Amino acid sequence: MPMTITEKILAAHAGLERVSPGDLIEAKVDVALANDITAPLAIKVFDEIGVEKVFDADKVILVADHFVPNKDIASAQQVKLVREFARRQKLTHYYEGGDSGIEHVILPERGLVLPGQVIIGADSHTCTYGAMGAFSTGVGSTDLGAVMATGEIWLKVPPTILLRYEGKLRPHVGGKDLILHTIGLLGVEGALYCAMEFAGSVIEQLPMNQRFTMSNMAIEAGGKNGIIAPDETTLAYLAERTTRRFEIFKSDTCAEYDRVIDIDVTGIEPQVAFPHLPSNVRAVSQAGNVPIDQVVIGSCTNGWLDDLRDAARVLKGKKAAPGVRLIILPGSPLIYKTAMREGILETFLDAGGVIGPPCCGPCLGGHMGILAAGERAVSTTNRNFIGRMGHPESEVYLANPLVAAASAVLGKIGGPDEL
């Protein structure tokens, strides 16, 4: 029976010849992931189960990336709890401080996630790794605690929506715009508990950072996972980061899909998601006059090196408008170091930017960029819900790094063509 890439990966990890949408399976887990917010509850559940050791000290990965450096006593206590658990369990992969970064950036960067794997994380944007041809999805901390103990998880096999992108991309349009446009088409529940399989000639031309961006935001349409079949671009990325063996899965040509959606990208402009939903999208040319107070460039969605390069090209020789706070958060120490070597950080500083450590920062209303009542921010992050970045009366507008950088200079929402 023909199967999709998602179905093939789940069948292999469940020890079954085939699976179909709706099947309940018990799948073996290759990577179990949590961060400084989600790990403490998972650790509590793990301890309550009563086992002494995690299922595999090489496969449980903990990353302190949300409230780092610790912003207050509560966050310091949480990180301490996670740190002590990692030491007690002798985990191979525990990251904090100068060795850390945003979890969904450093795991691919360090070759810790691979095609064909099942990756379960206590963070909704764990679906990022689908860009490498893995089945990766977020779960609650309680479920993650059980995974850390057993190395297995119960899953319902999701139906798959095939999204095919064809045509020619316009200038300043990339993966962030494609996924925002797609979420606008589907709505925030349009792919509820579905696998979103991204395909077509346009996807084949995207660099890895933009593929990560698209898979990362599958959850914003309600998707269970977002996935892209591995190709030469994927293999080239992996060749620089790992020598570990992995298995590549691809959908059968006659696989059955819940829906097939063809998207012509030719007319898609840079997109902006207006408050307070990622689906509330408009072309940047239709944004109107929206003055802003802050721009954030970073996050697991757009904190990659190529994202910083894009923003720096726009900001080179320019200044952020008076009254606009420009905040840049590289996704990892390696990205930070490379951006420094290439002069990108100097460009940001010359533009009046503030460069923070590799972490999630204000994306979740954590710290280093919280909005006050009535303030507006253009952000390269993935969510713009009410109060997401601070006060419930603030507003967050989602955009790609080029639009974010241009908006910082303009003092209002706008694209690079306006500069």
Find out whether the peptide bond into 104 is cis, omega within 30 degrees of 0. Answer: no
- Last-in-domain residue among 245, 263, 281: 263
Work out how many domains the chain is built from and give that number. 2
pTM of the predicted model as reported, rounded to 2 decimal places: 0.94
**Portion of the chain with pLDDT greater than 90, in percent:** 95
The residue whose two tokens read 């420094």 is 340
User: In angstroms, what is the C-alpha Rg of the chain?
Assistant: 20
- Last-in-domain residue among 233, 263, 293: 263
Tell which residue, 58, 5, 381, has the closest CA to residue 220: 381
Instruction: Please report the pLDDT score of residue 284 as a whole number.
Output: 97
pLDDT digits 0-9 by tens, 234-253: 999 999 999 999 999 999 99
Domain limits for position 245? 5-263
- The pair of three-digit structure tokens given for residue 385, joined into one six-digit string: 């819900």
pLDDT band at 14 (very low <50, low <70, confident <90, very high): very high
- Last-in-domain residue among 231, 246, 263: 263
Instruction: Please report the pLDDT score of residue 397 as a whole number.
Output: 98
Is the same domain home to 159 and 19? Answer: yes
pLDDT digits 0-9 by tens, 349-362: 999 999 999 999 99
Give me the CATH number covering residue 160: 3.30.499.10
Angle among Cα 166, 306, 286 to the nearest 5 degrees reads 55
Is the same domain home to 291 and 353? Answer: yes
Distance CA 105, CA 129 (A): 9
pLDDT digits 0-9 by tens, 165-207: 999 999 999 999 999 999 999 999 999 999 999 999 999 999 9
Instruction: Please report the pLDDT score of residue 419 as a whole number.
Output: 87
pLDDT digits 0-9 by tens, 77-97: 999 999 999 999 999 999 998
Tell which phi-psi region holds residue 33, choosing left (phi > 0), alpha (psi between -120 and 50) or beta. beta
pLDDT digits 0-9 by tens, 134-155: 999 999 999 999 999 999 999 9
| Interval 268-281 mean pLDDT | 97
Instruction: Please report the pLDDT score of residue 205 as a whole number.
Output: 97
pLDDT digits 0-9 by tens, 312-348: 999 999 999 999 999 999 999 999 999 999 999 999 9
Is the same domain home to 319 and 238? Answer: no
Instruction: Please report the pLDDT score of residue 187 as a whole number.
Output: 95
pLDDT for residue 364 is more than 90: no
